Chain A
Amino acid sequence: MLETLKLRIYQGEQFIKDIPNAPMRSQFRGFPKINKGVDISPCNGVCPTGALDVENYSIDMGKCTFCGACSNACGAVEFTNNYKLASTKRENLIVTSDMTFEEFRKTAYEVRKEIKQVFGKSLKLRQVSAAGCNGCEMELNACSNVNFDMGRFGIDFVASPRHADGIVITGPISENMAYALEDCYKSTPDPKVVILCGACAISGGVFQNSNKLNREFLEKYPIDLYIPGCPVHPLTFINAVVDFIKK
């Protein structure tokens, strides 16, 4: 018992105090910056998901795996360590050469008023892994660890869709998970939100050309929030949801 207490004292405080302004390591590949003045032709064909549009000098963060293949190939693309990448509109995720991070953030969110009214203090989420590779799943678990401690904002993952205010989808949605996903959505009481987490969920990511997917769900039901990443960093996820529900 004494050992246990000593160990507890030795560990001290591990939580990140200021999540919205938490520093990020410089090596992290976040919001991309595209420089139109540099020749982009060496980047031709290096993007594994077609996120980089060489002709228009733009990157679709909904497809991007942030692998860095383009920034390694030429100087036209650079990844900054800005980790607030989410948006409520799919088309906003396309970053063009003249867009700065600040401008992206200004128009990133357009939230229905009732969401902030109803969920402003607490949002309980049911996560559905629909063929996710366990990358996003591990990062979502990390959101609740002692470092990130997402629960302090009233945001939690719950066991049953009946207890949830919304669902978080990871993975490209396989044929074999399509039924369970829709069933889960229908079991969640109204009003509810749908959050797409990671490149696979948003666009199919590296699996977009697979014939074993069934992404009809995304056409049938409204999507409230898109969170890019491969996988989504805990700071990206927590800040995305906090910005979404808080006033």
Chain B
Amino acid sequence: MMNWIETKNNEPINLNEIPCLNIVDLRKEILEIKKRVVGFFGQPFGAGVKLFVIMADDEQGKLFVSSAYFNENEKSYDSITKDIPAFHMFEREFFEEFKIKPLKHPWLKPVRNHKKEYPFFEIQGEEIHQVGVGPIHAGVIEPGHFRFMCNGEKVYDLEIRLGYQHRGVEDLFLQNPTNQLAESVCGDSVIAYNLAYSKAMEALLNIEVSNKAQLIRLIALEMERVAIHIGDLGAIAGDTAYQMGNAIFGATRTLVINSLLEISGSRFGRGLIKVGGVNFDIDEKLAQNILKTLEKVGADVKRTTTTMLKSATVISRLERTGVVSYESAKALGLVGMAGRASGVELDSRFDFPDKWFMDKDDKKFKATGDVYSRTRLRYKEIMQSLSLIRKFMRMLPEYKNEPLLVPVNNGLYGEKFVVSIVEGWRGEVIHTAITDNNGRLSRYKIKDPSFNNWYGLAMAVRNNGISDFPLCNKSFNLSYCGNDL
């Protein structure tokens, strides 16, 4: 392990201790270390570019970091994707940002850049037709373009073009890093993003937030998961024309987000988390109210899901629709909920635990990789999160005299590198921050789980009817803005 430096979630390392190799050696190291890629991004460095690689050992909860330097004349290298497919989006992104070409990359297309015409994959044939959808979709959702190659109703291939949401978020973090900006990167994962950002900053400030604030943050994180998962169950019910499910899950979700409003003043928990702790307390009375509401939520979700999944018309739409096999999911590097539904057991809450998440969930989930699997998994995770919330709420009174916020008196430590991983409801939200010698952010890199998982959706719809696409899409519910940044 000479050529890697080992670290952990939220543990800053000195920038000058990160090994710097040439790309040929780094490539060899990446193939040899046999870990999972969670970061692969560049930063301008002198006249050239420095490429940072972060590999995760999920079983040990360890991260391995290394880097390679490209001088101004080195404009290409041998692609890693052809050996490890999970690198393919990372290499495309690196190429787009720094014009250093991964040679023999099988799918080197734009990620967010719209300056040139996008080269869509095409199938030729008398019976083949194309269907283009978006960027503006039929419903009220974010923009993206989907191009289907169909034979009759059957989808042979789906290509997804994104980038419409690109706002240059990473650069904005260098100009003016704020909690409000972190909350707005991906507005359906407000808590997860703000938590990842705040924890990265706290690591670079070397401050420890109070136990009370940590618990309130985790309660909000699990409430976010519960709320979105319930909304998604409603959307899946809606797309299978099970209208009652759609109505009830919609109303049940309202109860959860209104509880978040009672804590923070916002239905999505905006304004709750701040670098140094949290802005709002959960006192005993509020805790009791929320627990009572969540008890009803749990009972209603259980009853509605059970009734819904007994309906033959629903089941026939869910089972064996949009299958992603374990092998595909593993090879593509799917993460989070979509990965778990295909049997890839990654959950950074337990893989990279802080002191509150020690006991891993031992109940095995029978993953089948189809829409049905993603539906059942949501139900399971709602119940799991509700029990976690109960557990954290019970622990709160013990710390009631602790402060909500600890003061921030110093600036960020300079010349540091820190990785911050938070398991949002979609999966791992990874923020990586690098500071310069003045203690200013010199690079801020965000990786949303959707960045890995969009390709999983494209795989899922192959050989399915095109009319099942909305259902497959809802079952993944991936982020456009988290991908486009």
A interface residues (Cβ-Cβ under 8 A, vs B): 3-4, 7-8, 10-11, 14, 25, 27-29, 48-49, 65-69, 72, 79, 126-142, 145-147, 157, 159-161, 171-172, 174-177, 180, 184, 200, 205-207, 209-213, 230-231, 233
Contacts and interface: CB of A to CB of B under 8 A. Distances in A.
Nearest to A207: B167
A7 B307 contact: yes
Interface in B97-128: 112, 114
A136 B140 CA distance: 10
Contacts of B184: 65, 133, 135, 200, 205-207, 230
A46 B187 CA distance: 21
Interface stretch (B264-272, B318-326, B383-391): B264-272
Contacts of B178: 48, 206
Contacts of B310: 3
B141 interface: yes
What range describes how many residues of B lie at the interface?
35 or more
B250 interface: yes
A144 B289 CA distance: 27
B143 A175 contact: no
A210 B143 contact: no
8 contacts: A3-B307, A66-B265, A68-B271, A145-B247, A175-B114, A177-B135, A209-B172, A230-B184
B262 A159 contact: no
Interface in B179-198: 179-181, 183-188, 190
A12 B464 CA distance: 38
Interface in B147-175: 163-169, 171-172, 175
B72 interface: no
Given A131-B167, A145-B251, A213-B167, A48 B266 contact: no
Contact of B279 (A10, A65, A72, A180): A72
B270 A67 contact: yes
Contacts of A10: 303
B481 interface: yes
B136 interface: yes
Contact of B136 (A138, A180, A211, A212): A180
A81 B258 CA distance: 14
Contacts of B266: 28-29, 66
Contact of B168 (A69, A129, A160, A212): A212
Contact of B165 (A11, A131, A146, A161): A131
A68 B279 contact: yes
B141 to A, nearest CB: 6
Closest 9 CB pairs of A and B: A135-B187, A133-B187, A159-B138, A145-B250, A212-B168, A48-B180, A48-B178, A14-B251, A176-B114
Contacts of A69: 180, 271
Contacts of A127: 140
B166 A212 contact: yes
Contacts of A138: 187-188, 231, 268
A176 B480 CA distance: 13
Given A7-B304, A157-B139, A213-B167, 18 more contacts: A3-B310, A4-B244, A8-B244, A25-B262, A27-B264, A48-B178, A66-B270, A67-B179, A137-B142, A142-B254, A145-B251, A146-B247, A147-B251, A177-B143, A180-B135, A205-B184, A231-B187, A231-B268
Nearest to A1: B311
Contacts of B254: 142, 145, 147
Contacts of A209: 172, 175-176
Contacts of A145: 247, 250-251, 254
A210 B180 contact: no
Contact of A135 (B141, B143, B190, B311): B190
A157 B140 contact: yes
B373 interface: no
Interface of B: 112, 114, 135-136, 138-143, 163-169, 171-172, 175-176, 178-181, 183-188, 190, 231, 244, 247-248, 250-251, 254, 258, 261-268, 270-271, 279, 303-304, 307, 310-311, 479-481, 484
A161 B135 CA distance: 13
A25 B172 contact: no
Contact of A4 (B168, B179, B187, B311): B311
Contacts of A231: 187, 268
A134 B187 contact: yes
A176 B142 CA distance: 13
B164 A174 contact: yes
Contacts of B165: 129, 131-132, 171, 174, 176-177
Given A135-B187, A137-B142, A210 B168 contact: yes
Contact of A159 (B139, B247, B311): B139
B109 to A, nearest CB: 15
Nearest to A198: B187
A206 B166 contact: no
A68 B264 CA distance: 10
A65 B265 CA distance: 12
B168 A211 contact: yes
Contacts of A135: 184, 187-188, 190, 268
Contact of B142 (A14, A48, A129, A180): A129
